[in-house]
């Protein structure tokens, strides 16, 4: 079968496998449902709960003990490791945001303190690890100080006194200790959801990966077809068709090297606007103002921006848009050498996740028509007769 010979029947044959894969990826999960699966603050809060022996999770001190044994194994003395192995941690305290530290584990009886800095997607900020080290050492000068950088991929810390620790290790310890503790069902559900979140967000999903592998092996042409016809690709094709209009100056735009924006256009005649030519000498070749579509997995927006490379032009455009009431609700922002002046939403996250293709196509055409009938006259009037 050639890639061009994909039939509806061959795609239908994939439905069972797709349903199984979808089931793996879309199981009910509290952390994903509440939108906190990759948020550092909720992760740190939940880890404080799990690491505190007296909390209602049913793990007692077992999770704290195994975490410390794993995290400190390369830096703690044999005596301290022995004490950690035998302790029930009656005097251990886990604190949040003390001196801005994500998690601070303090045990004055065993005479140690551990800084845990949690980094999921964000990088380290300057010398923050050094600042935490100095601050906590000054606060607990008699305790042995350790540092741990927790991250999805066991990121190497910038500070030599910190040890790397991964979420994969965390999930492994938590799963083992939860199984051994015989915890109550209600606690078991939330802990299981957390482990599933760690595995799906920060680790390989073995079962899902196996299913995807099998589907690519069995029906590679179908999978290629699906991959090449994802919604964002289809939307881009539809929008390209809408842009092939006599009112959009695309040919000059391509020759004018307008940069990396694929779905970009200018309106015919805008290059000849007197104010643009006076303030932007290259206006014959590069548009002073540019429309472009941002096509993402969650939304599609049409934006209007002005170049920042000409200070006089930038000041003029900002004055025009700030002084006109029709743009009052649009916040002016700056990004990659462009001043973003105006935007219009074409598709929302709900549109992209729930509507059928034919409804999305219809909505794109309706928004495009609204843009020309309602938005363009207002924008042109503001630019040509600004004050």
pLDDT band at residue 260 using 50, 70 and 90 as cut-offs: very low
Mean pLDDT of 118-143: 92
> 369-376 long-range contacts, Cβ below 8 Å, gap at least 24?
371/302, 371/344, 372/247, 375/344, 376/267
Residue 207 lies in a domain: no
Reading the block at residue 61, the tokens are 């001190």
- 178 and 257: one domain? no
Q: Which of 168, 183, 198 marks a domain boundary?
A: 183
Burial of residue 253 (number of CB atoms within 10 Å: 0-12, 13-18, 19+): buried
Same domain, 122 and 256: no
Determine the pLDDT at residue 253. 44
Give the confidence band of 55 by pLDDT, cuts at 50, 70, 90: very high
Single out the residue in 164, 183, 202 at which a domain terminates.
183
From CA 75, how far away is CA 186, in angstroms rounded?
37
CA distances 7 to 78, 221, 358, Å, are: 66, 10, 20
Same domain, 63 and 142: yes
d(Cα 341, Cα 322) in Å, to the nearest integer? 9
Residue 250 has pLDDT above 90, yes or no: no
Which residues, in sequence order, are bridge partners of residue 149?
Answer: 117, 164
pLDDT at 180: 86
Residue 97 lies inside a defined structural domain of this protein: yes
Q: What is the pLDDT of residue 285?
A: 42
- Whether 4 has a pLDDT exceeding 50, the answer reads no
Which of 49-53, 89-93, 306-310 shows the lowest mean pLDDT across its residues?
Answer: 306-310
Lowest mean per-residue pLDDT among 24-28, 92-96, 228-232, 359-363:
24-28
Residue 12 forms part of a structural domain:
no
Average pLDDT, the chain: 81
Q: Taking residues 110-121, what's their average pLDDT? A: 95
Confidence of residue 266 (pLDDT cuts 50, 70, 90): confident
Judge if 168 and 97 occupy the same domain: yes
pLDDT computed for residue 84 by the predictor: 96
pLDDT computed for residue 115 by the predictor: 97
176 and 242 in a single domain? The answer is no
Domain match, 167 and 303 both:
no
Specify which of 133-147, 230-244, 302-316 reaches the highest per-range mean pLDDT.
133-147
The predicted structure's pLDDT at residue 177: 93
SS3 content of the chain, % helix, strand, coil (to 5): 50, 20, 30
Quote the pLDDT of residue 258: 43
- Which run of H or of E encompasses 266? strand 264-267
Q: What's the confidence (pLDDT) of residue 38? A: 85
pLDDT given for residue 230 in this prediction: 85
Residues 167 and 275 in one domain: no
- With a cut of 80, say whether residue 72 has pLDDT above it: yes
Range of the domain at 119: 36-183
| Residues 148-189: tens digit of each pLDDT | 999 998 889 999 999 999 999 999 999 999 988 778 888 889
Residue 243 sits in the same domain as residue 178: no
Exposure string for 288-300, b = 16+ CB within 10 A, e = fewer: bbbbbbebeeeeb
- pLDDT tens profile 86-108: 999 999 999 999 999 999 999 99
pLDDT at 261 over 70: no
Residue 40 located in a structural domain: yes
pLDDT at 44 over 90: yes
* Residue 1 maps to a domain: no
**What is the pLDDT averaged over residues 309-333?**
71
Asked which of 145, 161, 183 is the last residue of a domain, the reply is 183
Q: What is the predicted pLDDT for the residue at 1?
A: 41
In terms of domains, do 154 and 271 share one? no
- The mean pLDDT value for 363-368 works out to 93
Number of structural domains (the chain) is: 2
The set of residues, in sequence order, having a beta carbon less than 8 Å from that of 361 and lying 6+ positions away, is 238
pLDDT of residue 94: 97
Residue 257 above 80 pLDDT? no
**Do 310 and 244 have their domain in common?**
yes
Is 13 among the domain residues?
no
In a domain, 29, yes or no: no
Q: Name the residue among 190, 178, 196 with its Cα closest to residue 27.
A: 196
At residue 295, the 3 state secondary structure works out as strand
**CB proximity list for 344: less than 8 A, separation 6 or greater:** 301, 302, 367, 371, 375
> Is pLDDT above 70 for 306?
yes
Task: Say if 369 falls within a structural domain.
Answer: yes
Residue of higher predicted confidence among 327 and 31: 31
The DSSP call for residue 322 is H
Instruction: State whether 173 and 254 are in the same domain.
Output: no
Token output for 59:
């793990």
Do 171 and 282 lie in one domain? The reply is no
Question: 2: pLDDT confidence band, cut at 50, 70 and 90?
Answer: very low
């Amino acid at each position: 079968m050639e890639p061009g010979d994909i039939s509806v029947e061959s795609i239908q044959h994939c439905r069972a496998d797709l349903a199984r894969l979808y089931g793996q990826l879309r199981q009910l999960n509290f952390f994903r449902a509440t939108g906190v699966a990759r948020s550092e603050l909720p992760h740190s809060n939940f880890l404080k709960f799990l690491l505190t022996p007296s909390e209602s999770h049913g793990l007692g001190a077992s999770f704290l003990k195994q975490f410390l044994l794993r995290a400190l194994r390369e830096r703690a003395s044999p005596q301290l490791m022995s004490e950690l192995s035998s302790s029930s941690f009656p005097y251990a305290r886990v604190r949040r945001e003390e001196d801005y530290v994500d998690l601070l584990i303090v045990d004055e009886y065993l005479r140690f303190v551990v800084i845990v800095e949690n980094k999921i997607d964000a990088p380290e900020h300057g010398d923050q690890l050094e600042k935490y080290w100095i601050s906590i050492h000054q606060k607990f000068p008699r305790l042995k100080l350790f540092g741990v950088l927790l991250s999805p991929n066991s990121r190497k810390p910038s500070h030599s006194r910190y040890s790397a620790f991964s979420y994969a290790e965390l999930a492994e310890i938590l799963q083992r200790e939860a199984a051994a503790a015989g915890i109550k069902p209600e606690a078991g559900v939330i802990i299981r959801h957390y482990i599933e979140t760690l595995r799906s967000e920060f680790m390989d999903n073995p079962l899902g990966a196996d299913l995807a592998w099998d589907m690519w092996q069995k029906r590679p042409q179908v999978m290629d077809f699906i991959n090449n016809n994802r919604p964002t690709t289809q939307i881009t094709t539809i929008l390209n068709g809408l842009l092939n209009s006599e009112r959009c100056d695309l040919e000059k735009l391509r020759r004018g090297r307008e940069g990396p924006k694929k779905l970009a256009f200018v309106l015919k005649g805008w290059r000849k606007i007197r104010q643009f030519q006076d303030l932007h000498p290259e206006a014959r070749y590069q548009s002073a103002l540019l429309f472009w579509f941002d096509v993402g997995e969650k939304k599609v927006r049409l934006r209007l921006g002005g170049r920042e490379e000409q200070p006089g032009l930038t000041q003029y455009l900002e004055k025009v848009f700030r002084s006109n009431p029709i743009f009052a609700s649009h916040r002016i922002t700056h990004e990659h050498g462009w001043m973003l002046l105006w935007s219009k939403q074409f598709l929302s996250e709900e549109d992209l996740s729930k509507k059928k293709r034919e409804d999305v196509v219809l909505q794109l055409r309706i928004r495009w028509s609204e843009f020309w009938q309602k938005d363009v006259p207002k924008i042109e009037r503001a630019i040509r007769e600004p004050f």
